[in-house]
Structures are given as C-alpha cells and as structure tokens.
C-alpha cells in the first residue's frame, strides 16, 4: 500500500509585511504543513481538443496533531471522484472513486519562509510512484489576501519506461482569501501544462479549488 517511502513537500512563501493577519492566513492556507485544520474541494478538468474532458472532484481534509511543543504530525487524506471518457471506441463515460491516498508528515511547528515535513504516503490500490510537489506563493503588495501560486505535481511511475515514466507539468494559479461571515475561505484557480507526460495524456488541466479554513 505504500506509494513511496518518503515524500517531501516544500512551500516557499514570498510576501510583504503589510497586513499581518491576512498574510498569515494566506500563508497557512497554502502551507501543506500548517497547524490549521482545513477542508479542500478541488475540481479538475482536462483540456484536450482530441478527446472529451475528464473531470475529477477531490475531497481533501488536512488535520494536524501536536505531538510536542516543537513538532506536529500533519495528516492528509485525498479522495478523488472521477468522471472520464471511455478508452476505446464506443465506450461510454465511466464514474467512480479513484485511488485513495493518506499521508502523515512529521513537521516542525516553528514557522518561517521555508517549511518542510517528511513521512509516508499510503495509497490504495498499490502504485509504485514518486511524487514531488514544490510550491511557491507570492502575496500581492496591495492586497495581502490575494496571491499567485506555482505548484506543479511531478510524478514518476517506476513501473513504466521511456516517455511513459514522467509527468512534469508547469503551472500558474491565482488565489484570494475571503470571509463568509466569520468563516475564512480560500479560492483558487490554476492552469497546468504538461511539458512531459505519457502518450495520450491531455496537455492542459484547469483546476478550481475551495478551501475551508479553521484557524485556532
């Protein structure tokens, strides 16, 4: 069930010191190791002129647990619901639950411009893959609630060979922190383009994200 023995995510945040409260909450929203419980709902649609779009809605809760004054365990579950076209002529669309992933990262609670964590990523069914997700976010000077993000997910399928092994996208997203009453929400739209991918993979993906934050 182990997708990879060790996975590391980097989140490098470049932001001005204008509105500290808004800036801190944006940082926590984009920090995969933040000590803030949150729920994410992510919609992805492939853009490919050759084939009908595949769509995925992902439910992704992140729940931190403090294990000491200086360390936390950050748990994240990824549960995707997929709607995709048939792979052969005449096949209709298929629907169902995709690979379910659970991760638990040990991360220092001290915050800074560079945050990190390390731990196992478990996936059902078994897949022999590596996943790397660098993340760079820039907060706007005139609006600390708004930001740009670069967060491609790079994967390598070790059971494949040649051009079928790597998926390497580039991405650019824009996000905005808003409040609905007292509830903090993070809204984000991101476009991904695959510079390397297995044959048949759509070149573009559009992603819309709603993140519900529960700061302490």
pLDDT band for 21, please (50, 70, 90 cuts): low
- Determine the Cα–Cα distance for residues 118 and 215; give it in Å rounded to an integer: 23
Q: Structural domain of residue 81, as residue ranges?
A: 2-214
Return the number of other C-beta atoms located less than 10 Å from residue 112's C-beta: 8
Q: Give the total number of structural domains in the chain.
A: 1
N residues, the chain = 216
Beta bridge partners of 202: none
Q: Which residue has better confidence, 8 or 122?
A: 122
Backbone φ, ψ for residue 30 (5° rounding): -95, -5
In tens, the pLDDT along 108-153 reads 886 666 778 888 888 887 688 888 888 888 989 888 899 999 999 9
pLDDT at 111: 60
For the segment 34-51, the average pLDDT, to the nearest whole number, is 90
Range in 34-48, 100-114, 149-163 with the lowest mean pLDDT = 100-114
Range in 60-69, 107-116, 144-153, 189-198 with the lowest mean pLDDT = 107-116
For the segment 184-200, the average pLDDT, to the nearest whole number, is 95
pTM (2 decimals)?
0.82
Question: What is the average pLDDT value for the chain, to the nearest integer?
Answer: 84
Query: For residues 154, 149, 80 and 86, what is the CA-based torsion angle, rounded to 10 degrees?
Result: -70
pLDDT at 23: 66
């Amino acid at each position: 069930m182990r997708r990879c023995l060790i996975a590391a995510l980097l989140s490098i945040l470049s932001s001005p010191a204008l509105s500290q409260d808004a800036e801190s909450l944006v940082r926590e929203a984009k920090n995969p190791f933040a000590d803030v419980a949150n729920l994410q709902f992510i919609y992805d649609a492939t853009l490919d002129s050759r084939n009908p779009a595949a769509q995925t809605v992902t439910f992704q809760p992140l729940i931190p647990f403090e294990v000491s004054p200086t360390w936390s365990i950050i748990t994240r579950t990824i549960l995707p619901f997929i709607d995709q076209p048939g792979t052969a002529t005449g096949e209709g669309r298929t629907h169902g639950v995709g690979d379910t992933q659970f991760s638990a990262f040990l991360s220092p609670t001290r915050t800074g411009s560079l945050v990190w964590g390390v731990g196992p990523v478990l996936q059902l069914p078994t897949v022999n893959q590596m996943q790397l997700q660098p993340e760079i976010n820039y907060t706007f000077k005139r609006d600390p609630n708004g930001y740009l993000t670069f967060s491609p997910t790079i994967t390598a399928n070790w059971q494949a060979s040649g051009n079928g092994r790597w998926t390497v996208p580039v991405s650019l997203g824009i996000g905005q922190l808003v409040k609905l009453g007292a509830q903090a929400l993070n809204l984000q739209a991101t476009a991904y383009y695959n510079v390397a991918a297995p044959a048949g993979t759509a070149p573009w993906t559009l992603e819309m994200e709603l993140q519900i934050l529960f700061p302490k």
